[in-house]
Copies of this chain bind each other. A is one copy, B any other.
Amino acid sequence: MLTIGVDIGGTKIAAGCVTADGTVVDRTRRDTPGRSTAPAVVEDTILDAVGELTARHRVHAVGIAAAGFVAADRRTVLFAPHLSWRHEPLRDALYRRLRLPVVVENDANAAAWAEWRFGAGRGESHLLVVNLGTGIGGAVVTDGALQRGRFGVAGEFGHMQVVPGGHRCECGNRGCWEQYASGNVLVREARALLTSGSPVALALREATGGDPDALTGPHVTRLAADGDPACAELLAEVGQWLGVGIANLVAAFDPGRVVVGGGVSEAGELLLGPARQAFARTLTGRGFRPEPALLRAALGNEAGVVGAADLARPFARRLARARYRRELARTATTGR
């Protein structure tokens, strides 16, 4: 039985048909409409991607992974920084147009769920997941349950302050962790290095034709993997902040395993090596307590799709679909 997972990121909407064992058997992509686009246009884009897949497969439920605050009832997106959603009743709106059970989940939660079900977090009773994409997404899975918090917005690890008065964050605050450990930071620091004119930036200059705007995270990762010391240092610096932040989270949550995912994790040990070192130096009580392993995520950038599809699976069976419809009819919001 297939379900669809849709991962709505800041730049791309990825959709996939997923089996019960987490295999993506078909996939499609759309560009994410810009911030100024009306919510209905974003919905149209989601439906267009889902429609392409339902035309080719029999599908029984749809999971949506959204980069934003999803309310505890998983019907409403409270706030999405990259989209025009503000208190958007996404679940009901999509259900009305799809006539399939829809589950909405925060994107980091969905990715963590996938890692716990099928990836590097399998079998762990206390799993903590940190996703390094443009920012930091995070989630905790305890005894097989996502920890959503009281209002559904737990796991915003990226916006914990690590440097008082530090870099301004897109959330409006200063010194947020994701201003020191994320894909955006890697690019920001690489651009600063490039424009500094320093001779250590030679490889970066050659790879980008000297144009800071052409520089991307994968440039840095590729050059570092090829042995460029400056790019390795840039990744190590992000890795060090990653390790410090993880030590903070481990002090608070005491997980049995920490999984690092997201695009930046593709740098592998160039990122995780320095992260492990900083973590080992920073964890409080080290030497007197068991310590969690720090592992790279296994599912790559499809974790959000796989997790969202799997979270929709409980609603895919015929009886569950009928229950879902009845419950939705009973509690229907007025919509827009």
Contact = CB atoms under 8 A, between A and B. Distances in A.
Interface of A: 69, 78-79, 86, 124-126, 138, 142, 147-157, 159-164, 169, 171-173, 176, 244, 247-249, 251-256, 282, 284-285, 288-290, 292
A138 B248 CA distance: 13
Contact of A161 (B142, B162, B289, B292): B162
Nearest to A87: B288
A175 to B, nearest CB: 9
Given A126-B149, A149-B126, A154 B288 contact: no
B157 A252 contact: yes
Given A149-B253, A151-B256, A156-B254, 18 more contacts: A69-B288, A69-B289, A124-B150, A138-B252, A148-B254, A149-B255, A150-B255, A153-B285, A155-B252, A156-B252, A156-B285, A157-B251, A159-B285, A160-B252, A161-B162, A161-B247, A172-B284, A173-B282
A47 B249 CA distance: 37
**Interface of chain A, main secondary structure:** loop
A282 to B, nearest CB: 6
Contacts of A288: 69, 78-79, 86
A137 B158 CA distance: 23
A48 B19 CA distance: 63
Given A248-B160, A288-B79, A253 B154 contact: yes
Contacts of A254: 148-156
A75 to B, nearest CB: 15
A165 to B, nearest CB: 10
A205 to B, nearest CB: 30
21 contacts: A69-B285, A69-B288, A125-B150, A138-B252, A149-B253, A149-B254, A150-B290, A151-B254, A152-B254, A153-B289, A154-B254, A155-B254, A156-B251, A156-B284, A157-B251, A157-B252, A161-B244, A162-B162, A164-B244, A169-B284, A172-B284
A255 B155 CA distance: 11
Contacts of A284: 156, 159, 169, 171-173, 176
A253 B248 CA distance: 13
Nearest to A125: B150
Contacts of A251: 156-157, 159-160
B289 A150 contact: no
Contacts of A157: 251-252
A120 to B, nearest CB: 16
Contacts of A169: 284
Contact of A256 (B150, B173, B255): B150
